[in-house]
Amino acid sequence: MAKTLAVTQFIREVCEAAPYLKRLPSHHLWIDYDKEADTLYVSFERPQRATDSVLRDDNVLLRYRGKKLVGITVIGTKPLRIKVNGK
């Protein structure tokens, strides 16, 4: 029963994210999460071969190769989740 609820919740979350995922700059993406560092890595190309990075005030690191965005790193996702879910 608990497994079924977890799968149902996972499906719901993926479906809720789908409209946003479709608007990303690439139709292929790789997602890695480092639990110990609480950091989410999203790559639009593999390998990224980024040549420049810009750290925003909200702890989001934008990774560029030239002018092309090739990845995003979100540092500290737990506060982000609280904001997103309104908790």
- Which pLDDT does position 78 carry in this prediction? 76
Digitized pLDDT (tens) for each residue of the chain, 87 residues in all = 677 888 999 999 999 999 988 888 788 999 999 999 999 999 999 999 999 999 999 999 999 999 999 999 999 987 765 455 554
- Which pLDDT does position 21 carry in this prediction? 87
Residue type, 47: P
DSSP letter at 26? -
Q: Which residue is it, tokens 């790789």? A: 30
What is the value of pTM for the model shown? 0.75
- Name the 3-class secondary structure at 28: coil
